[in-house]
Structure 1
């Protein structure tokens, strides 16, 4: 039995939440002067999570982040993906009209709803996309206890 609810499109409330998130994200670049050297302290890359009977799969978009700057860890049913996108060298003679690309550290954390085989977790990184495959542990069957 699957523990994660299947994605079936956006509800009206999810659509409103996403639009509000986008609104506030769009305001962030204008709270700083372009080229003032400050960067966002934390950002959250876009992530998809899916489930089969045998495993969870987490896919994270990390364009511009080298594999060496990404870390995947697992402890106490919590999968943590963290890293950093470093800023490119800014050209002093250019005035930015709009600057939207996030730089800085990121952390995504997922609490998995069922037991997993933590020694079998696999991660791959290709073309700026991180994919983590987390196999589920076999569920233990109920044990019948004899009454003396």
Structure 2
């Protein structure tokens, strides 16, 4: 009979074990999230694509943007300089971090004319469309 549920009242030892694990997580040197992947918005306009990535805590020197074949890659590696070990800290969550995020570019992107701007923690990539990909009106004549 598999629907029978056995009851195990928790012991005081199990409660203290859970409490110890919680305290260890709060006061450990390990950050809450080991890898942070930036949030990204991509929109299409008539003549271009615009990608905006949230990169708080970085500077333009920390960010690398590459295009290889049809792949756009945004990456960063930031090293926090820490000389002291504990030195009175109860929590140390700031440390070295790195990320890499790649996107397949649409075929109509002019890869030679992508521009990047970084302001207030937002990386904005302006990716113009190829001239041949722009819609063209063809006049219709009589006759």
> How many pairs align?
108
CA contact (8 A) 2:79 2:95 kept: no
Gaps of 5+ in 1: 1-28, 142-148
Change in CA separation of 1:114 and 1:53 when aligned onto 2, cut-off 3 Å: farther
Distance in 1 (CA, whole Å) between partners of 2:123 and 2:134 is 31
CA contact (8 A) 1:59 1:132 kept: yes
Alignment of 1:1-148 (within 5 A): 30=25, 34-35=28-29, 40=34, 42-87=35-80, 89=82, 92-96=87-91, 99=93, 103-137=96-130, 138-139=132-133
CA contact (8 A) 1:64 1:85 kept: no
Match of 1:145 in 2: none
Deviation at 1:133, TM superposition (A): 0.6
Deviation at 1:36, TM superposition (A): 5.6
The alignment's TM-score, normalised by the length of structure 2, stands at 0.62
CA contact (8 A) 1:43 1:102 kept: no
Deviation at 1:136, TM superposition (A): 1.1
The alignment's TM-score, normalised by the length of structure 1, stands at 0.60
Cα RMSD, aligned residues only: 3.1
Greater Rg over alpha carbons, structure:
2
Is the strand fraction higher in 1 or 2?
2
